[in-house]
Structure 1
């Protein structure tokens, strides 16, 4: 293999693997900045490859979560389908959902897990995720020089901070509750 391509293959593999994690993964932006600063890789290639491999990893995470749905009882499946129909059955709610995947500051793992559980069409939300990552990764790459001195501490803090851990736990609980709530009882009747 060409030695100039090897670092980019490593970036794709790491970003893909990080995005398969259902929770507690390091922030994608910081991982890319770390590669940029340590290996002096082309920032444009890093942004594009990072966004695409992030989207591919999250897509596969959602597909795997959708497989969990197959093992739920008929009542839970019907409830999750009701939530899906409610969220995707109206243009405004669908657009808001795509906007959430495009711009959300929340960790995306649990959002993709929820989408997988509900059986949401994954391609549109994955495209929104990739587009959002192209923008956010570009901003982080531009700021990489400034962050170089504090990058290690920032990466450790992002994974070990009580605030970050609390958000991850709350989002995991939300995904579990998504499957436990009887959405047919709470959502407005649909025609």
Structure 2
């Protein structure tokens, strides 16, 4: 039953577009308060997180049809730019492997842009296996620490709140930019301009 609740909690938290507790804190909670094997906690937590992010991106994709036409054109132009420069996609995927930064807004942007989601989700899952294993292992080493303070520090700290607000503002900015005009202007400029 603990594994089911871990999966559902990780899944639910990763459906949130912002201000949810990080999944690693849930792994830490289960790792400190239980005796389940760490590898199982990490695997189940990463699966729940990846599926939650995938559903979030699919929801954003559905919501994208309700956006104003101007924003839909901007998003379509951004998708064309991403698809044209595949090496940029690889860089973004690599960030998932090494970055513990919030990913909800990136998944929403990818969903809105209708970029294929399986590669992003797989990279997210792989990256989270490493980060969750690190946090889980560390938690097992420091069982006597105050978990409540660690778990919710991200939610209540000014830096954590500012980061979430900044990521939401970046998402709004990304869909508001006239990518077609911006990218065509860059192509029209002579080299070295």
Normalised to the residue count of structure 2, the TM-score between the two structures is 0.90
**Stretch of structure 1 that moved more, 101-110 or 117-126:** 101-110
Q: Is the 8 A contact 1:87 1:97 kept in 2?
A: no
Q: Supply the distance in 1 between the matched residues of 2:95 and 2:184 (Cα, whole angstroms).
A: 22
Counterpart in 2 of 1:187? 183
SS in 2 for 1:12: helix
Uncovered stretches (5+) of structure 2, i.e. residues with no partner: 188-193
Deviations 1:91-124 (A, max 9, x none): 3112112112332232011110111111111100
**Stretch of structure 1 that moved more, 87-96 or 55-64:** 87-96
CA shift, 1:37, in A, is: 1.3
- Aligned equivalent of 2:4, options 4, 9, 14: 9
The answer to whether residue 100 in structure 2 is matched with residue 105 in structure 1 is yes
Counterpart in 2 of 1:3? none
Please give the residue correspondences for 1:95-134 in structure 2 after superposition, counting only pairs within 5 Å.
95-134=90-129
The answer to whether residue 160 in structure 2 is matched with residue 164 in structure 1 is yes
**Stretch of structure 1 that moved more, 46-55 or 149-158:** 149-158
**Stretch of structure 1 that moved more, 58-67 or 178-187:** 178-187
Counterpart in 2 of 1:52? 47
- Aligned equivalent of 1:62, options 47, 57, 65: 57
Q: How many residues align?
A: 185
